[in-house]
Amino acid sequence: MRSPIGKMHYVFAFLLVILTSNALMAQELLKQHVDNPGQTAAVDNPGQTPMKDTAATGHVPGVLPQTMDAIPGPVGLAVVTGNGINYHGGPVLKGNPVKFYVIWYGNWNGTGSNSAATVSLVEHFINTLGNTSYEKIATTYGDSTGNVSGNVTLGGAVFVSSGTNLSDALLLTTVKNALTSGALPTDSGGVYFVLSSSNINETSGFCTQYCGFHTHATINGVDIKYAFVGNPDRCPSACEIQTTGPNSPATGVGGADGMIDVFAHEQFEAITDPDLNAWFDSSGQEDSDKCNFNFGATNTCVAGSLCSPAGIAAHAKWNVSFGSNDWMIQQQWKNSGGGGCVLHL
């Protein structure tokens, strides 16, 4: 498939219908995107022609979806099928750990959620995510050579101070510049995340078509996986589940928590479908898409919890705890037990 910037394939893995109502209404509508547990589109009966899985329409906006053969049975010991999501032969990221590299784009010395506090919180989330029961959900995915480890870590970070809106082409250039300059290492087994401050727009559809996406491209002769995550304080009704989160520094400043939720979505997909040819279902949804804005059972921030004072005052919701913080992050689709959205393996 051809994208607006040439041969780059990409997926808007966090497709959203922008709502004019509040975020809770957005949550309910977005749940309609979740497939029924156990749904699959492989081979109905031996000897039949395999059905074709539809690649996600978000891979290339405006281009008719392609079809890809779903592999109906195990390719290797690490490939398990029949859990509502199909394997298409591509690789997964099996590093132990997989390294995440962050490019902080825009103004991160500002106020609200465009601050050093957000940078510190997001990087803390990344550094404590690996080997949690949440991230271990990814270990149910593999390819013909092995399974995902469930371990991740922060591999490095760099700041790009700019007031220029991002296009898809500039996003790719931003990642390329970080690698070419040596600011970040060139790592084919890692994932590069461009996180933008709330004054920055990604002009191909941030806040109107997606909150984030992941993709890949050849940079300096290496297959590089990268992603975009915008600050949802730019459009809280579209990309935040709550305007004050469990880690908010002040009431109505939910951008850091919102970014972390989008980050959780994109990192999971980038690991299990890095080249857009590994794991997705018959409708083109990747694992995180199947649980998009589905948070499962939640708790309320109260005195004595790990929430911030603002989170406690706002009675913010949270659903998982690790790294001495309460977090509000979406469930992930497990590729076991018939499939389903879960918060831990």
Beta bridge partners of 193: 102, 227
pLDDT at 74 over 50: yes
Non-local (6+) Cβ contacts of 146 within 8 A are 78, 94
Residue 51 resides in a domain: no
pLDDT at 178 over 90: yes
Residue 156 resides in a domain: yes
| Residue 75, pLDDT score | 63
pLDDT at 76 over 80: no
pLDDT at 241 over 90: yes
Structure confidence by residue, pLDDT tens digits, 26-49? 333 232 222 222 222 222 222 333
Q: What is the mean pLDDT of the chain?
A: 84
Report the C-alpha gap between 134 and 140 in whole angstroms. Answer: 12
Residue 58 resides in a domain: no
Percentage of residues in the chain with pLDDT exceeding 90? 77
| Residue 174, pLDDT score | 98
Residue 242 resides in a domain: yes
Measured over the CA atoms of residue 47, residue 283, residue 192 and residue 261, the dihedral's sign is negative
Residue 57 resides in a domain: no
Lowest mean pLDDT, pick from 38-47, 68-77, 99-108, 306-315: 38-47
Residue 168 resides in a domain: yes
Domain count, the chain: 1
pLDDT at 284 over 90: yes
pLDDT at 14 over 80: no
Report the C-alpha gap between 309 and 314 in whole angstroms. Answer: 9
Please classify residue 176 by burial: count the beta carbons closer than 10 Å to its beta carbon, then call 0-12 exposed, 13-18 middle and 19+ buried.
middle
Tell me which residue range forms the domain holding 32.
9-41+68-342
Percentage of residues in the chain with pLDDT exceeding 70? 78
Report the C-alpha gap between 117 and 19 in whole angstroms. Answer: 29
| Residue 26, pLDDT score | 36
Residue 224 resides in a domain: yes
Joined tokens for residue 254: 């939910």
CB 251 within 8 A of CB 307: no
Count Cβ atoms below 10 Å from residue 133 Cβ, excluding itself.
13
Report the C-alpha gap between 263 and 18 in whole angstroms. Answer: 19
Report the C-alpha gap between 87 and 71 in whole angstroms. Answer: 6
| Residue 322, pLDDT score | 98
Residue 199 resides in a domain: yes
| Residue 78, pLDDT score | 74
Report the C-alpha gap between 318 and 315 in whole angstroms. Answer: 10
